[in-house]
Structure 1
Amino acid sequence: MEIFPPRLRTVLKEWEIQALVLVSLSLQIILFVMGSKRKCWTSDKLSVIMWIAYLSADWSATVSLSVLSNNAGSIGDKKIDPKFVITAFWAPFFLLHLGGPDTITAYSLEDNELWWWHSLTLAIQVGVAVYVFLTAWTRTALNFLAIPMFIPGIIKIWERVWVLRSASSAIFKASMLPPPDPGPNYARYMEEYSSKKEEGFDVKAGKFSEAQVVGEISLTAPENVMISDAATLQDAYMFYMTFKQLFADLILSIQDKVNSQSFFQKASCEEAFKVIEVELGFMFDVFFTKAFLVYSLNGCLLRLISFSSTVVVLLVFLTMDNHAFSTADIIITYVLLVGAIFLEIYAVLLLVTSDWTLLWLSKHKNSVRWSNTMGQYNLIQYCLKEKPTKYTFIQKFFCMSELLEKLRYQDSAEVSIVLKNLIFEQLQKKSEFAKDLKACKELCACRGDQVLKNAKCQDCIKKEQSEAEEKSVESVEEEFDQSILLWHIATNLCYHYDWNTSPNSIKIPNCEASKLLSDYMLYLLVMRPFMLPNGIGQIRFQDTKSVCVGDHARIILLKVSTEVPPSKVKGDRSKSVLFEGRRLAKPLQCLEIEKKWELVSHVWVEMLCYAANKCRWNHHAQQLTRDGELISHVWLLLAHFGITEQFQISKAHARAKLIVH
């Protein structure tokens, strides 16, 4: 039985390759434009479109080459049709498309790890294109014109493979390893030792220490002092060249620590976060674009060769006699040539206005690097909002119901300067104690307990204050995901109570910052659990939200007596921590309002820092494709302040010397 009528099949066969080539070019344009904006958006819809375009781009180019190869195989001893000659001329363009745009080489870090698979696949496609080209060879002008078009196609493919390989974890790490150091010549030392001993000298092995030079960092002033952001670009690039080792699990030196601390302890909050933002932008370019190659002398030369070849082919094609080909095929050929040139020009424009170029030219126009937003998720609001009564069959079939439910209640908020100042000031104070490896480890292990212990050391006039601090310390000693939920519930209840009793009180800076951080940490627990330490956070969240239902959930919670610990009533069957959170909120309400919100905000900052240090570098790097997360900015800021375990703390380099008496 024929599904498609013969006439439709004829039309599809005749226009199949033409449709595929136009689809392939369209996908390249989408990737070029969207790829350049990828590191500063937070939209899930745009991410889905980008993902579909990324997968479809390679698929359309590969299928197109397969169709051309199939057409070439059916020729045999027949006379070569002019239509096949011109469609075979399109084969190099598919290689150009397989090479991909400069703005995106990898959708995720896993693509970099599979560079060998990409290289094998692309090598096969080059072979297919060459096969099509040789099959269509009739010694016509168009055949000869296809030769220079292979140059940009092969260049693009080589660039993509080279960049994917360079960004893979093993190669990226190897590129930053210092040259092998065999150390002092032990054999020669022992030979001299034995010789002196045989001569009758009293020989001893002593130590000679070469002191390590440690001083404050010296920053070079930008050449163009009229450009305000030139200094930021230079500072960010200098720190990027050093701290990119964090993205390879390498250890930094004590000199790196001192240099970074001396800069960031003197910098303002706004300046520090700007440097971090540009620094992470450089890291995004290295892992997910061709920037590492393109913004180099070799990259510029390759780009010049590629652009020149395409322009020459277009000019020659304009002067050729094309009467043997159909008008539609000629138009498509022009579209391919003009499209290739347009994409090259667009790439050059991006090159000129990029941070890499502006770094050297000190010419900056305030381009967007980070949307300055943070995810928000509120348990109480989640429970109070109206939920969909049912999901479609498709959503259930693809197991998307739970994901869509989470996305529905996800929100975002601006990372205010007040919040940045709060984080920056806390880290600045902590960095003063990061003097050795032991102190760094202790600071990295703090998850709110240090703040609460410091508060407990202060004189407490009221009994309720002592009770609040005692219960608070217990709450941060639980599993980390449990601590997040406990403090999230307590923060929201306190915020709601203050808003009802004294609306002006929530205007306290620490109050608003606490609310933002509370909702952000729950957002990480629900939407980005891989960025937090391992635990059963998802189970606790599900059990807790199942208890928190009804229009008067907050009012009921505020009135419920928690004299008996909830764990003694419900046992270990349910992982809900709703009433434990209420139990924490009640004594907090007895504190003075300013002290309360100062305490709560500092606890949240410490918990955020703990989570940032526990998150693996690859998770931080992967989130750069979604505008980056606040937790990643804090992670890098912590490292710059020296609050990290990835430093090699050593006082000097020592080597043995002979002491002859």
Structure 2
Amino acid sequence: MSITIVSSFIFAKKRKLVQIFPDSLRIAWNLWEIRATVLLSLILQAVLISLGNRRKHSTSNWLRFVLWLAYLSADWLATLSLSVLSSSSTQEDGNSKELDHIIKAFWAPFLLLHLGGPDTITASSLEDNELWWRHFLVLLAQVGVAIYIFCSSLGGHVLNFLAIPMFVAGIIKFGERTWVLRSASSDNFRESMFPPPDPGPNYARYMNEFRSKQVQGYKVELGSVIETPKVGYHSNTSQEGIFDGAANLQEAHVFFSIFKALFADLILSIHDIENSKSFFKSRSYGEAFEVIEIELGFMYDVFYTKAVLVHSKMGTIFRFVSFVCIIIVFVIFFVIEKQAYSEENIIITYILLAGAITLEIQAVVSLLCSDWTRLWLSKNKKAAKLLHPVILSISSAETKKKWSNSMKQYNLIRFCLEDEPVQCSFLHNVPMYIKGKIYKKFKKHLYMDLEKVCPELKEMIFQQLLEKSERAKTLEDYKRLCAHKGDWVLKNKNRINEFGWSIGEEIDKSILIWHIATDLCYYSDDMEDQNSVKHQNCINSKLLSEYMLYLLVMCPFMLPNGIGQIRFQDTCAEAMVFFKETKFKGAKEASKEAREELLDVSTDILPAKIKGDRSKSVLFDACRLAKDLQRLETEEEWDNQKKWKLISHVWVEMLSYAANQCPRSQHAQQLRHGGELLTHVWFLMAHLGITEQFQISKGQARAKWIVQ
């Protein structure tokens, strides 16, 4: 609604504003105003269709900003252009101006085409889906404006008739977008997964039969038959390798149709969980994560693109009709007489037609390279032999990516040492007082790093989750596994009495304590043996430690409610005071020495007894934990790898707990930002049964009369 209001305001004030400019500029503005806005609208559509699908696998903030700006500007510009066209329709006089208006009115359905948006991005965020009704009202309003423009230009000209098929294409496109937004809204998405209404057995008929048998003198008892679904995975999909990954693609789609209910906060059946678990426990970690990645790719398409509609039979018909309409208009416009129209307007019309065809071709290419098409080909061998080589030739590495496969990192001690990141190098020539303000405002954002999610980390996560799942003896055990945030590992290692204090009720406190302790242990091992090569458990621990802190600092909405932000700032404040007193602030070469100085502080008395509860800092609690972890090697003769295995497993359990506690809507939101490891872990946990979203049922009971 704000777009319409702003457009109306600009139109109302436009003629007053241009009075301040010279006549030559006003004439040029009136001449090129509609031409410029229509062309710019086409450019924005090209940007959206080219970049729209990249946000599935990109974490770039610049890409996010460009798409957000283009998404908002595209609708606004198309609406503004229609407003300007409707205004000019009442002001044209003279034959040349009438012809000029006719060809400009022919551009109106192109603007409806632009308002329909590309297939690769229908919603910028989940909130856009909730406002589908507003898009529907805008559709009605803009179609009305376009029809008004069309009617005002009627005069028996060929372009009047050519506008009709363009109107058909434009209305189809806009209608598709509204339908997709409505389907992805929370209420409709949830309702789409409801089973058909089931009235159950005919109670009245059963009771009439019961009474009839009694009247006849029979002794009638009520028995029951339990129909228990078979447990164990039985695939109905083709396992033949039509092309690489075909089997996993089919399996992913089967599970997607079941587990998408998690995004609607619906409950799964225990039999779905058991079948899924049976499948995943027989697969390698690589195959397991690949299936999860494909499923979440399907979820992204459901929430943010037209994929579901485009790959349906009705969508295929709509796409064929709109494409044929555009081609017909282009051919006819090419052959008709156009000398009566200005050369500039003819060129712009050609650009709009060529642009519409190009965007349609690009949409077809995106359609062919999608997992939905590959899924269809995996079930149609004859079509696969013909089309799959074509798809391979036009697809690129970009189209094969399912998500960013990366995790952002954040290190508290580096942040507190104010080790200036590379991103700040552009500030070197900026005046100090300006630099200070910029640095202070954006400091928290400048200390993020990006690391790939390595296969070894995926393997460790999968193996630990699988082990926990297999240890569950009862159905309630599955749900209890969701509540563990490090204590399960410590109990299994008989270390709960020693380290249990660090795993409290608040996950943010545990994250901060274990993050700092992991960091201190990591650099302490370096100082003891500078030539040692870090083994995988050590690397995995550091990666998860800094990833979890990133979530705490930059994405607190993905973690359970708490005072994590307050704890972080208090801990940073205490660390900065300590480093300032020990003269380590800003010293890049002294980062290891600064950590060594922290470990030298005596923690024999609990910090809380000295400081009280005023500050929420956990700096020296973490130092105490780090020393206790180091003693496992020095006093209890643990080897270094065993110590890091314990630390890494604690981190996996905290990651699992956070994944399960994260709101489902936030998991869905992160799909448009390149995806999060947290979301993939949450979905994998559900497939292994580690979830609270299932119901326990023994089977479906069916009544049976026993007549004696």
Q: How does 1:344-363 map to 2 (within 5 A)?
A: 344-362=360-378, 363=388
1:66 pairs with 2:83: yes
TM superposition shift of 1:37: 1.5
Q: Which moved more, 1:69-78 or 1:561-570?
A: 69-78
TM superposition shift of 1:403: 6.6
Residue among 587, 598, 616 paired with 2:663? 616
Q: 1:29 to 1:563 in 2, by over 3 A?
A: same
TM superposition shift of 1:511: 0.6
Q: How does 1:291-302 map to 2 (within 5 A)?
A: 291-302=307-318
Residue among 39, 43, 46 paired with 1:22? 39
TM superposition shift of 1:147: 1.0
Counterpart position of 1:582? 623
Where 1:374 maps in the other structure, the secondary structure is strand
TM-score by length of 1: 0.93
Residue identity matched to 2:353:
L
TM superposition shift of 1:470: 2.7
Counterpart position of 2:693? 646
Q: 1:231 to 1:261 in 2, by over 3 A?
A: same
TM superposition shift of 1:596: 1.4
Q: 2: CA distance between counterparts of 1:258 and 1:311?
A: 52
TM superposition shift of 1:581: 0.8
1:112 pairs with 2:129: yes
Q: 1: CA distance between counterparts of 2:432 and 2:342?
A: 51
Counterpart position of 1:460? none
Q: 2: CA distance between counterparts of 1:215 and 1:600?
A: 34
1:369 pairs with 2:397: no
| Matched residues, number | 646
Counterpart position of 2:590? none
Residue among 415, 433, 443 paired with 2:481? 443
Residue identity matched to 1:385:
E
Where 1:412 maps in the other structure, the secondary structure is strand
Residue among 213, 228, 246 paired with 1:230? 246
CA contact (8 A) 1:102 1:290 kept: yes
Q: 2: CA distance between counterparts of 1:403 and 1:315?
A: 56
1:98 pairs with 2:142: no
Q: 1: CA distance between counterparts of 2:432 and 2:361?
A: 47
Q: Which moved more, 1:311-320 or 1:59-68?
A: 311-320
Counterpart position of 1:281? 297
Counterpart position of 2:11? none
TM-score by length of 2: 0.87
Q: 1:604 to 1:616 in 2, by over 3 A?
A: same
Counterpart position of 2:522? 495
TM superposition shift of 1:568: 1.6
CA contact (8 A) 1:314 1:337 kept: yes
Q: How does 1:173-572 map to 2 (within 5 A)?
A: 173-218=190-235, 220-223=237-240, 225=241, 227-362=243-378, 363=388, 365=392, 367-386=400-419, 404-456=442-494, 469-503=496-530, 505=532, 507-549=534-576, 550=579, 551=584, 553-572=594-613
Counterpart position of 2:383? none
Residue among 647, 650, 655 paired with 1:603? 650
Q: 1:603 to 1:255 in 2, by over 3 A?
A: same
Where 2:493 maps in the other structure, the secondary structure is helix
Q: 1:237 to 1:487 in 2, by over 3 A?
A: same
Residue identity matched to 2:480:
E
TM superposition shift of 1:285: 0.7
CA contact (8 A) 2:524 2:596 kept: no
Where 1:147 maps in the other structure, the secondary structure is helix
Gaps of 5+ in 2: 1-16, 379-387, 585-592, 633-637
CA contact (8 A) 2:92 2:101 kept: no
Q: Which moved more, 1:332-341 or 1:592-601?
A: 592-601
Residue identity matched to 2:700:
H
Where 1:171 maps in the other structure, the secondary structure is helix
Q: 1: CA distance between counterparts of 2:454 and 2:325?
A: 49
Q: 1:558 to 1:574 in 2, by over 3 A?
A: same
TM superposition shift of 1:279: 1.1
Where 1:507 maps in the other structure, the secondary structure is coil
Where 1:51 maps in the other structure, the secondary structure is helix
Q: 2: CA distance between counterparts of 1:618 and 1:395?
A: 37
Gaps of 5+ in 1: 457-465
Identity over aligned pairs, percent = 56
Q: Which moved more, 1:6-15 or 1:143-152?
A: 6-15
CA contact (8 A) 1:69 1:131 kept: yes
Residue identity matched to 1:358:
R
Q: 2: CA distance between counterparts of 1:472 and 1:342?
A: 62
Q: 2: CA distance between counterparts of 1:198 and 1:503?
A: 93
Q: 2: CA distance between counterparts of 1:63 and 1:499?
A: 62
Where 1:45 maps in the other structure, the secondary structure is helix
TM superposition shift of 1:254: 2.3
Q: 1: CA distance between counterparts of 2:238 and 2:45?
A: 40
Q: 1:51 to 1:185 in 2, by over 3 A?
A: same
Q: 1: CA distance between counterparts of 2:701 and 2:599?
A: 64
Q: 1: CA distance between counterparts of 2:248 and 2:324?
A: 35
TM superposition shift of 1:483: 0.6
Post-superposition CA distance 1:222-264 (Å, at most 9, x none): 45x2522212211211211111111111111222112211111
Post-superposition CA distance 1:475-519 (Å, at most 9, x none): 112411111101101100111101111245551211100000000
Residue among 96, 105, 110 paired with 1:88? 105
Q: 1:298 to 1:55 in 2, by over 3 A?
A: same
Q: 2: CA distance between counterparts of 1:152 and 1:254?
A: 46
Residue identity matched to 1:570:
K
Q: Which moved more, 1:254-263 or 1:522-531?
A: 254-263
CA contact (8 A) 1:437 1:645 kept: no
